[in-house]
Amino acid sequence: MTAMIDARRGTFRLAAAVTATALAFGLGAGVAAAKPKPAPHTSTEELTPPVATSTGWEILADDATHQATVWHNGVVVRTMPISMGKRKDATPNGVYHTKEKYQSLIMSSATYGVPVDSPDGYSETVYWATRMSWDGIFIHAAPWSVASQGKTDVSHGCINISTANGKWVYENLPEGTPIVVEHTSGGQYQGD
């Protein structure tokens, strides 16, 4: 039965609703159509990266979606748009672990042989930086790349996130938290 309201008259009436589908299958009065089967349930635990964590925290940085997903004890607690290394500076795929943290840090291309005054050079103060590797890869606040985060890769290899997300990572993820990077064109990370 379907309730129909006539707003002009302020009245309502009941009408029998019979669908063409029910008639086509010969369903008569007193015969109920089968309910569709619900989609299978997928728990967040099935989606966590397949890495061991001693901290209860895990991050998956997926370059295919330009998103980082954070789990705590198997439950998704945060998803954030990211920008990783552009093609010639692509972030290597693999499992990293959080290390030391800095509220502010000067990053310079001169540390890996690219002069600051060259076209690819830089010297930039970054905030809320959490080291992922001893060879200079960090997850850090990068307000200059917010328009690219979630869309494309523009960094020199680090994971760029917003200032709010950088501060959140800095404040919440303990040392030793695994960060899994996948779907980049950067080859394979060889470990800590």
The owner of tokens 């086509």 is 24
Looking at residue 93, what DSSP letter applies? Answer: B
User: Is residue 158 flagged as an active site residue?
Assistant: yes
Indicate which residue of 66, 97, 156, 158 is catalytic. 158
Q: Distance (Å, rounded) from C-alpha 44 to C-alpha 30?
A: 41
Indicate which residue of 41, 140, 156, 183 is catalytic. 140
Q: Helical H runs in the chain?
A: 20-24, 44-47, 163-172
User: Is residue 41 flagged as an active site residue?
Assistant: no
| Among candidate residues 94, 72, 71, 74, the one with its CA nearest the CA of residue 84 | 94
| Among candidate residues 134, 75, 74, the one with its CA nearest the CA of residue 100 | 134
Active-site residue numbers?
Answer: 140, 158
